[in-house]
Chains A and B, each alone.
Chain A
């Protein structure tokens, strides 16, 4: 039996050994190497080698193509200066995850461009209250596990047909088929709200808007109108304010505060007992203090307060308006 060489695999060890070794950095060198049917395994499975690994100077040398291909890397040879370029997608590494100080099941990261977590698991749903689903194309949906946020027994305002659509709401280009909702989830100071019953209205730069309003025949069937009203984060830096005014049979019942961006939504709770005809009117107060009411035209400046020509001047969310009998 021939003596077996011991082998150092650490890079640092190689460096130490190399410091004492000397060989040509260019040209041909006759070296004594051990060929010993050296195998390569990757994750417990043999790797097919096309040229023999060898042991030389306490290091196992392998044909780079063999190992690189086994590891899913692409190998290219560059002539001048002589170099082997190995490119590989960075491997996935474990990621530790803490949610408000509590460790959650770990995720994966490549250490540079993504940090992803197993959000679809029961542990995450329990910790976050979000039901997370993913399709095979990489689309992610987060749904609040709590479901509907409408009061018990309430009817979403958007489920009723308005008797009159006013201003922009009557513009079928902006609101095809009179559909007032279901475009976007509202976002207010970072908080997302499901958009399925949120009434959305905004002013785009350079457009002429007609301040909108909604009339409903309630026929005295409801007692309370509830919801939240806010300036959406799309226009968080808007310098003006907006509000809603509620009228029952021509009499002002309530109005929200003048709302500005970067503030929590105002809670709406309006007593509509006995009201036959409910009017919901929008009002905009621009940065100069001029008020524009339902039906009036507002000629928007060419850019929003941030300087953007594509983001809205102001965008409002009437979140989950609902009528309770």
Chain B
């Protein structure tokens, strides 16, 4: 296939003699014209995503022509047709300039790599960095373009928005990078008795069949600002079914809730716990094999595949 390239002669041919820019200049030809359009199944991609356009791009006079609406939408610009002025009117936000710097607190470094956006002459600070400085949970919904610091939306604040002040058992061990709780399965969503749950705000854990796994738990700082913890607890369908699991929720060191012992293919236990006044919230798991209970922080024996789901956990 021939590589099409814009050439100077192409411009000249396309524009007529001497008309190098538009802006009141008259083209050599106006009105209806029959032109030779080259079609070549030309795909249009913006930022790697194929734009499905019904009106196909074509090549005319060494230029690739596309419907303006298609490319404008692909680049996030809005487009309008001004019929009186016979012009296309694009409206687009310029991209922000992002610089990565240090986050300091009272003049001393906390972490590096915070993203500051410079947009239309003003600096914008990472909402996550601000939430960190405020010691508040942070949640952003990019699809809806809304960020929450502190209290969340009406559906509650997803549990992973909260800072884990202490980790227990397997959660205290280094994963590939950091110690901390695991939110969601890498190979799918939680599924309890055939019912799927959202991956993102689910606290999950899987034992190693080789043994030595420590039953996990995690402590969050709620600062006494919240009233209710909700979720669904059970044994994930991927478990071997040789064990039962239990969820214990404590506030300020005092037990607030304990689930029944949950077995394989048992419908998830709906969890709703009053956390009013709770500063430190502990979510701990236990595993029972036969009559033997392995509590949070204790090592499990080899030969068991237990997959725990505390699914769809939100704090209200």
The reply to whether A30 and B47 form a contact with Cβ atoms under 8 Å apart is no
Q: How large is the interface on A (under 10, 10 to 19, 20 to 34, 35 or more residues)?
A: 35 or more
Cβ-closest chain A residue relative to B124: A116
Q: How large is the interface on B (under 10, 10 to 19, 20 to 34, 35 or more residues)?
A: 35 or more
The reply to whether A61 and B65 form a contact with Cβ atoms under 8 Å apart is yes
**Chain A CB within 8 A of B155 CB:** no
Which residue from B115, B136, B225 sits with its C-beta under 8 Å from A138?
A: B115
How far in angstroms is the closest Cβ of chain A from B87?
4
The reply to whether A115 and B127 form a contact with Cβ atoms under 8 Å apart is yes
One of A140-148, A163-171, A214-222 at the interface: A140-148
Which residue from B54, B110, B134 sits with its C-beta under 8 Å from A130?
A: B134
**Chain B CB within 8 A of A267 CB:** no
Q: Report Cα–Cα, A294/B304, bound state, in Å.
A: 46
**Chain B CB within 8 A of A289 CB:** no
**Chain A CB within 8 A of B290 CB:** no
Contact partners of B88 in chain A: CB under 8 A: 9, 38-41, 53, 60, 62
Q: Report Cα–Cα, A98/B127, bound state, in Å.
A: 10
**Chain B CB within 8 A of A109 CB:** yes
The reply to whether B90 and A183 form a contact with Cβ atoms under 8 Å apart is no
Q: Report Cα–Cα, A28/B47, bound state, in Å.
A: 29
**Chain B CB within 8 A of A306 CB:** yes
Q: Report Cα–Cα, A2/B277, bound state, in Å.
A: 76
Q: Given contacts A86-B75, A90-B47, are A64 and B65 in contact (CB under 8 A)?
A: yes
**Chain B CB within 8 A of A161 CB:** no
Cβ-closest chain A residue relative to B3: A79
Q: Report Cα–Cα, A140/B99, bound state, in Å.
A: 11
The reply to whether B61 and A42 form a contact with Cβ atoms under 8 Å apart is no
Contact partners of B89 in chain A: CB under 8 A: 41, 44
Encode B76-105 as 1/0 by CB contact (under 8 A) with A.
110111010111111111111011111111
Q: Given contacts A25-B56, A29-B37, are A98 and B148 in contact (CB under 8 A)?
A: yes
The reply to whether B69 and A10 form a contact with Cβ atoms under 8 Å apart is yes
How far in angstroms is the closest Cβ of chain B from A195?
4
Q: Report Cα–Cα, A130/B53, bound state, in Å.
A: 49
Closest 3 CB pairs of A and B: A262-B166, A138-B99, A138-B101
**Known pairs A77-B4, A115-B127, A185-B106. 13 more at Cβ < 8 A?**
A4-B83, A4-B86, A107-B124, A109-B142, A118-B124, A137-B101, A139-B102, A141-B104, A142-B130, A143-B107, A185-B105, A262-B165, A262-B280
- CB within 8 Å of B: which residues of A? 2, 4, 6-7, 9-11, 14-15, 17-19, 23-44, 46-54, 56-57, 59-65, 67-68, 70-73, 77, 79-101, 107-120, 124, 128, 130, 132, 134-144, 182-185, 187, 189-192, 194-196, 233, 236-237, 261-264, 305-308
